[in-house]
Amino acid sequence: MKVAVGQFAVTKVWQENVQTCLDLMTQAQAAGAQLLVLPEAVLARDDNDPDLSVKSAQTMNDAFIDKLCGQSRHDQMTTILTLHIKTTAGRAANTLLAIRGGEVIARYQKLHLYDAFNVQESRLVDAGNSLPPLIDVAGFKVGLMTCYDLRFPEMALSLALAGADILVLPAAWLRGPNKEMHWATLLAARALDTTCYIVASGECGNKNIGHSRVVDPLGVVIAAANQKPTMIYAELESQHLTEVRAMLPVLKNRRFASPRLL
C-alpha cells in the first residue's frame, strides 16, 4: 500500500487551511496513495493565541468537514487528520476523522490530553474515554492515535492486540529541549512495541517541529520530512509485516494480561 504524509504550517484562517488539505488530497491521490495522513488540529492556529483552535471549533456539519468530504467523493483514498469539534460552550473535542468516499468513516476523540511541559490542553478540550475503532485500508487494519497518545505504550499495544497492522498519528509536536529526540525515539519504540508500521504527520509551524515520519515494524525510518511543508511517500508491505512478526513475535510472547485503557 502506498501511503502519503502531508505536513504544513496551519494558519489562523480556516479557509486557507482547508484549501491546503484539499490540495494535499489531490496531490496524494494523483500519486496513487491509498492512505493520506495530515497533522493534528488543522482547523486554525495562531502563535499569539493558543486558544484559537478551540475558539474556531466547528461542528460535524460545518464547512470544513463538508469540503473534505466533497473532495473525497472523487476517489477511495482514506484521509486522516484532526480538528476541534464543538462540545459545550467554549469547549471542544480534539477529534480525529477518517474520511473516504465522501463520508466520515471513523472518528476518535483524543484520549490523552497534553497537560505537560507547561501546557494544559484539558483547560478547554474534553478528553475521550474509549479506544478508537480499527479501520480497513487496502487490506491493512489501521489503528488511530493522536499526538500525545504516542507517549502511552499501552494504547499502541491495545490497538496492536486488537489487530492493527498500521498505527497512524496526526500530531502537532511542540518544539523544546530534546523534543525532536523524544519524537523520533517514541515513534521507533511504538513500532517495536507493536511490530506495526507507524505513519505520523507533524504540523510544522513556528512552534511545532514537523519531522513527519513513516517507520517500519522494526523501527526503521523509511520516509522522513524536515521542518518545511512537504509531502512524503512510502510503500507498506504486508509480506514484510508478516516476516517481522514471525521473526520478532512480541505480541505472541507477551506474558502479561492485555492492557486496560481506563
pLDDT tens column, 244-254: 999 999 999 99
Residue 12 belongs to some domain of the structure: yes
In the predicted structure, residue 119 carries a pLDDT above the cut 70: yes
Banded model confidence at residue 257, pLDDT cuts 50, 70, 90: confident
Banded model confidence at residue 170, pLDDT cuts 50, 70, 90: very high
Per-residue pLDDT averaged across 70-97, rounded?
97
* Domain harbouring 83, CATH code: 3.60.110.10
Q: What is the secondary structure of the chain as a DSSP string?
A: -EEEEEE----S-HHHHHHHHHHHHHHHHHTT-SEEE--S--S--BTTBTTHHHHT-B-TTSHHHHHHHHHHTTS--EEEEEEEEE-STT-EEEEEEEEETTEEEEEEE-SS--EETTEEGGGTB----SPPPPEEETTEEEEE--GGGGG-HHHHHHHHHTT-SEEEEEE--B--TTHHHHHHHHHHHHHHHHT-EEEEEE--SSSB----EEE-TTS-EEEE--SSSEEEEEE--HHHHHHHHHHS-HHHH--SPPP---
When divided into structural domains, the chain yields a total of: 1
Please give the pLDDT value at position 256. 82
Annotated catalytic sites, by residue?
40, 110, 147
Which residue has cell 509480506? 239
Residue 57 belongs to some domain of the structure: yes
In the predicted structure, residue 262 carries a pLDDT above the cut 60: no
What's the CA gap between 152 and 149, in Å, rounded?
Answer: 6
Please give the pLDDT value at position 190. 98
The conformational region for residue 99 under phi > 0 = left, psi -120 to 50 = alpha, else beta, is: beta
Residue 153 belongs to some domain of the structure: yes
Residue 93 belongs to some domain of the structure: yes
Q: Which domain holds residue 38?
A: 2-247
Q: How far is CA 178 from CA 121, 148, 152, in A?
A: 21, 15, 18
Residue 259 belongs to some domain of the structure: no
pLDDT tens column, 194-227: 999 999 999 999 999 999 999 999 999 999 999 9
Neighbouring residues of 1: CB distance < 8 A, sequence distance ≥ 6? 34, 35, 137, 138, 139, 140, 235, 236, 238
Residue 8 belongs to some domain of the structure: yes
Residue 255 belongs to some domain of the structure: no
pTM as predicted: 0.96
Residue 254 belongs to some domain of the structure: no
